Amino acid sequence: MKSSTIRNIGALFLVGTMLFGCAVDNSDTTDDNNTTDNGDGGDTTENSDNSGGTSDSQTLYGATAVSENTEYTVEQMLTFAIQDEYLAHEEYTQIIATFGEVNPFANIVKAEENHIDALTRMFETYNYEVPADLAKSYVVLPGTLLAAYQAGVDAENNNIGMYELFLTKELPDDVRTVFEALRSASNNHLEAFNLQVSKYNT
């Protein structure tokens, strides 16, 4: 069996692992996505604003570091992707520690671990070094639960935009399969966060 076929089968297996048990329950729960670390590095400015949303400290980390006008290698795209999943996992972990086991964060944070695992497998498949998880340095904890839900909306929108851009590029089949699955998961998460925001606004 060709190595490319083996890689594709492996990618499909990972996708199945990511998506099973990750369906969105619009009553209050969901499952599956979001965090980051910038492969290019760069200086950042800490922002102590706890109002929620995207902060300046996240500007050069993960999805927010991606530019539409820049060409990236597969390794760079994987790096931005895993950084963004690191960031989501860390942010949602901190929100749970502050506000309790509230949904959809309690479900989604578990899904983020699956996303990180799937991307880690891609790094290993192509013999790329797995980036360190530096997300804790980039998270700004929202001050209220409503701000936390809105931060989730912002994070998932950024994540979806990143994957949509990457999917316009030439990619190995297994990497494309994983990116498509992660984008789909983020759409589920976005739906769940939007539902919670709308509940507060009605």
Global confidence as pTM = 0.74
Output phi, psi for 51, to 5 deg.
-80, -10
Q: What is the Cα Rg of the chain in Å?
A: 16
- pLDDT tens, position by position, 145-175: 999 999 999 999 999 999 999 999 999 999 9
Please give the Cα distance from 62 to 76 (Å, whole number): 10
- pLDDT tens, position by position, 81-97: 999 999 999 999 999 99
Output phi, psi for 167, to 5 deg.
-75, -10
Record the tokens describing residue 112, joined without a space.
């983020």
Q: How confident is the model at residue 59 (pLDDT cuts 50, 70, 90)?
A: low
CATH number, residue 30:
1.20.1260.10
Residue type, 160: I
Residue type, 64: T
Dihedral sign from CA coordinates of 195, 188, 92, 110 = positive
Confirm if 14 and 180 have CB atoms less than 8 A apart.
no
CA 189 → CA 8, 117, 169, 174, distances in Å? 26, 18, 24, 23
Number of domains the chain contains: 1
- pLDDT tens, position by position, 11-31: 444 454 444 334 444 444 334
Candidates 106, 98, 107, 102; CA nearest to 144 is 98
* Structural domain boundaries enclosing 143: 3-200
Mean pLDDT of 127-137: 97
Mean pLDDT of 102-129: 96
